[in-house]
Amino acid sequence: MNKKAGAPKNLIAYSFILPNFLGFAVFTLVPMVFSLVLSLAEWKGVGAVKFVGLENFTRLFADEAFMRALVNTVVYTALTVPLTIVAALALAVLLNSEIRGRNFFRTVSFFPYVASLVAVAIVWRFLFSPAVGPVNMILSNLLGKASTDMPAWTSATGPAMFFVVFFSVWKNMGYYMVIYLAGLQGVNADLYEAAALDGANKWRQFRHVTLPQIAPTTFFVLMMLVISSFKVYDIFLNLFAGGDNQLSNATRVIVYQIYNTAFRGLDYGYASAMSIVLFVIVLGVTLIQFRGEKKYSH
């Protein structure tokens, strides 16, 4: 009875997928392909599309602002990813243990993730404001130095990268903690018993039982974090830019360059070439991680 003829069965299945697929195809798949085409062209939004081959890409490598943005993005990623993983994992292990008010602590640490970026970025700008912010006030009192000698966190140079990394870890660690919590649920409790019987202390149990057991979670978190770090823009914009939405050399990132080139410069072809570079980087990192995971799990 449930083995109907193939054709209507297929049709029913397709009818389930169609509503989502239609939207997905028109607003995601088509633009993806379009992006590839546009990256090989010169087009300012009006007139004919002129194909220029790989010219946009050669132009990119000589573009100092873009290269600077690329380096900044890589530095940001290299700092944010490991710090977030360590913080999230530590938090998850801590909040997986039997403590009073566990749910309260979990909820609190998740909250920065759901809080609106614009709102919390403003508070952080105020808190770390070089001249009047409470952080530098406390620092200057502790160190007994004038507040003008304190780090200019929100300005263009120097400590700006630390500031944005610190902010990013604070904002996102709660999310990855929840994912780690889910991973920790899957660890076989017998393994701890066995390790404890062998005389392994907590740290050795963590290193030799917990870490290998949650390796798949770590690979997943790593991948998500790397992708989200490479496409960062809104955090930098809200922490550093004024009303003109401009970022300086020290804080420009790849997506900022894409945005400015496309929506201010109307240089759509060139901006698409930048997009492709972003895509290739993310794809490359993802593939490397997949290979790493395969190697690791065998």
Partner 1 sequence: MVGEKKRSPAANIVLYCILALIVIITLIPFVWMLSASLKANKDVFNFPFVLVPDQPRWENYSEIWSRIPLGTFLLNTLKLSVIVSILQVLTSSFAAYAFAKLEFKGRKALFLGYIATIAVPWQAYMVPQFIMMSKMGLNNTHMAIICLQAFSAFGVFMMRQFYLSIPHELSEAARIDGLSEYGIWFRIMLPNSKPAVTTLIIFTFVNTWNDFLGPMIYLTKTELKTIQIGLRMFTTQYTSDYALIMAASVVALIPVLIIFLSLQKQFVKGVVTSGIKG
Residues 138-157 that bind partner 1 (CB under 8 A): none
Q: What contacts 126, CB < 8 A, 6 or more positions away?
A: 133
Stretch that binds partner 1, among 62-70, 71-79, 151-159, 225-233 (CB under 8 A): 225-233
| E strand or H helix at 41 | strand 41-42
With CB under 8 A as the rule, give the number of residues binding partner 1: 102
Distance CA 44, CA 269 (A): 8
Closer to partner 1 by Cβ: residue 122 or 211: 122
N-to-C CA span, the chain: 44
Residue 74, token pair as written in the block: 């890589």
Other Cβ atoms within 10 Å of 29 Cβ, number: 11
Three-state DSSP class for 123?
A: helix
Q: What contacts 27, CB < 8 A, 6 or more positions away?
A: none
Three-state DSSP class for 50?
A: strand
Residues between 272 and 291 that touch partner 1 (CB under 8 A) = 272, 275-276, 278-279, 282-283, 286
Assign residue 207 a region (left: φ > 0; alpha: ψ between -120 and 50; beta: otherwise).
alpha
Closer to partner 1 by Cβ: residue 26 or 71: 26
59 binds partner 1 per the rule CB under 8 A: no
Distance CA 186, CA 255 (A): 37
Binding track, positions 15-54, relative to partner 1; x by CB under 8 A? -xx-xxxxxx-xxxxxxx-xx--x------x---------
Closer to partner 1 by Cβ: residue 112 or 159: 112
Other Cβ atoms within 10 Å of 100 Cβ, number: 6
Closer to partner 1 by Cβ: residue 160 or 232: 232
Closer to partner 1 by Cβ: residue 76 or 230: 230
172 binds partner 1 per the rule CB under 8 A: no
Residues between 182 and 201 that touch partner 1 (CB under 8 A) = 182-183, 185-186, 189, 192-193, 196
Contact residue for partner 1 among 202, 207, 264, 291 (CB under 8 A):
202
Residues between 83 and 142 that touch partner 1 (CB under 8 A) = 91, 94, 96-99, 103, 105-112, 114-120, 122-124, 126-127, 129, 132-134, 137
